[in-house]
Amino acid sequence: MTDIPAQGSRTSGRGERAPIGRCTFMGYVLAGATLAVAAELPLGAPAHAAVPSVPQIPELYDLEDMQTDAARPTSALIKIVLHEDGTASFELPRMEVGQGITTSTVMVIAEELDLPVDKVRVTLAPARPELLLNQLTGGSNTTVSMFTPVRVAATIARKALLEAAAIELGSVEAC
């Protein structure tokens, strides 16, 4: 007398495992993924046995920080020119390659000088050896690294304009 495997059993008549068919395998794959996802849903509480770790290097200092620091030593060598017709101009020591740096620079200058954006002209400056790495265009870093220097230059230009106006109007005597 031979043993007849029970319904749903995966053993052959000789005690060996029978091969799993394609449909059964796909069923296991789909059911396994579904069960794994379903098992994750109710576990919303944080683990109490989590081990804290120190911040990773990119969290402390990354490429963006490095590019900004590289531009910092020569960032005071930029200037904003105020013209008699009420416009301002600035030569941006970077390349515009589609990331909108001229527009963002115009907006920063216009905001700081309290001018309409159509009164501010930003052009691209020719290369200047003294600016060194302050001419580096890459990594979407220009607006980040140029924001503070451009804003400071615009503030200095505004202060000079206000002082000149005060002298012209007789509020302050010239030094």
Whole-prediction pTM: 0.65
Within 72-141, residue ranges assigned H as helices are 101-113
Residue spans of alpha helices (H) in 90-141: 101-113
**Which phi and psi angles does 111 have, rounded to 5°?**
-65, -45
Contacts of 132 (CB under 8 A, 6+ apart): 70, 73, 74
Per-domain boundaries in the chain: 9-43, 61-168
- On the CB side of 11, CA atoms within 13 Å amount to 8
User: Helix 63-71 to helix 142-168 angle, to the nearest 10 degrees?
Assistant: 30
> 90: which strand partners?
80, 122
Q: Does residue 169 carry a pLDDT above 80?
A: yes
Residues in the chain: 175
- Per DSSP, the three-state class of 76 is helix
Which range, 1-10, 131-140, 155-164, has the best average confidence (pLDDT)? Answer: 155-164
Q: In which residue are the tokens 């794959």 written?
A: 29
Domain 61-168 in CATH 3.30.365.10: yes
**Six-digit token string for 42:** 């109710």
On the question of pLDDT at 37 being above 90, the answer is: no
Q: Strand 88-92 vs strand 120-124: parallel, antiparallel, or unpaired? A: parallel
Structure tokens at 40: 């994750």
Closest CA to 123 of 165, 170, 91: 91
**Residue 89 φ/ψ, nearest 5 degrees:** -135, 155
State the pLDDT at residue 174: 55
CB count in 10 Å sphere of residue 43? 8
Residue type, 164: A
Q: State yes or no: pLDDT of 32 exceeds 90.
A: no
Q: What per-residue confidence (pLDDT) applies to 43? A: 52
